[in-house]
Amino acid sequence: MMGDQEVHQELLVAKLASRALLDDDDRAAIRALPCQGKTVDPATYLVREGSEPQRCQFILSGYAYRQKLTREGSRQIVALMIPGDFVDLQQMFLRRSDHNVQALTRLHYIEIPIVALRKLATTRPNASRALWVDALVDASIFREWIVSIGRRDARERVSHLLCEFAVRARTAGIAFDGDCALPMTQEQLGDALGLTPVHVNRVLKALAADGFIERNRRQITILDWNGLRNVADFNDRYLHLDQASPE
């Protein structure tokens, strides 16, 4: 029987093993990382712009998002994070954070000292590769968001986000089939998509009227996966899901 600590670290091992092939020594080194579990309420800041992070967070359950504010006070969400995501690989080698990270829901996570992760990265080549792949996949998702916001209309954009979330949730083992409970308010969706909440509302209504999704308060369920992926022009290539298979 495993204690909490062990369960947490198995998630971490599983995540990194999905990013690169690991041997037993790599796994042992990952299990040996010092870490500490934490829980926070929705809207809590995990990282603040301008701060100098000393620990890297890894999400066990719940959701979080990266966010930046403009001078006028409008907010842009630049990434969603789900269980099995690292919050701070994006800052691991940078001095100051360039954005904020906030909990979207109640959140359980572990914190690992950055020095320990850096040491892992320099002593275990396979683990290092897994960390690289993870950071580079994040960057690939950023690029796809630029394409969505820059070149897709509101209907495509909303659909694309739903598709991405569904695939990532399924890959992380926290969703099955269409059952994709994206716990975001329409205002938050708007902030992630570069739209106003009013317009998000209208688009969701239209997608529901067309039978692609079903809505029920903050729950959105995909009814017609192929239809929605077609509306969205969605292709999961940019998520790089096959990095850990033998070459």
Q: Which residues sit at the interface with a copy of itself, rule CB under 8 A?
A: 20, 50, 66, 68, 70-72, 74-76, 78-79, 90-96, 98-99, 118, 121-122, 125, 128-129, 132-133, 135-140, 142-147, 149-152, 193-194, 233, 237-238, 240, 242-243, 247
Locate all alpha helices (DSSP H) within the chain, ordered by sequence.
Answer: 4-17, 24-31, 114-123, 125-151, 154-171, 186-193, 197-209, 225-232
Both tokens of 79, joined, read 């990434």
Query: Quick one: which of 170, 194, 224, 241 contacts DNA (CB under 7 A)?
Result: 194
196 touches DNA by CB under 7 A:
yes
- Is 102 one of the binding residues for DNA (CB under 7 A)? no
Backbone torsion region of residue 235, taken as left when φ is above 0, otherwise alpha when ψ lies between -120 and 50, otherwise beta: beta
Question: Between 141 and 175, whose beta carbon lies closer to a copy of itself?
Answer: 141
| Token pair in block for residue 95 | 């001095």
237, HSE (Cβ side, Cα atoms, 13 Å)? 4
Q: Provide, rounded to whole angstroms, the least separation between the CB of residue 194 and DNA.
A: 6
Distance of CA 97 to CAs 53, 70, 102, Å? 7, 16, 13
Q: Which of 68, 96, 215, 237 binds DNA (CB under 7 A)?
A: 215
- According to DSSP, residue 80 is labeled E
- From residue 178, alpha-carbon distances to 199, 214, 215, 219, 225 in Å are 24, 10, 12, 12, 7
- The C-alpha atoms of residue 151 and residue 34 are separated, in whole angstroms, by 44
Residue 50 Cβ vs DNA, minimum distance, rounded to whole Å = 25
Give the shortest CB-91-to-DNA separation in angstroms: 27
x/- site string to DNA, residues 115 to 154, per CB under 7 A? --------------------------------------xx
Interface residues toward DNA, by CB under 7 A? 153-155, 185-187, 190, 194-199, 201-202, 204-205, 215, 217-218
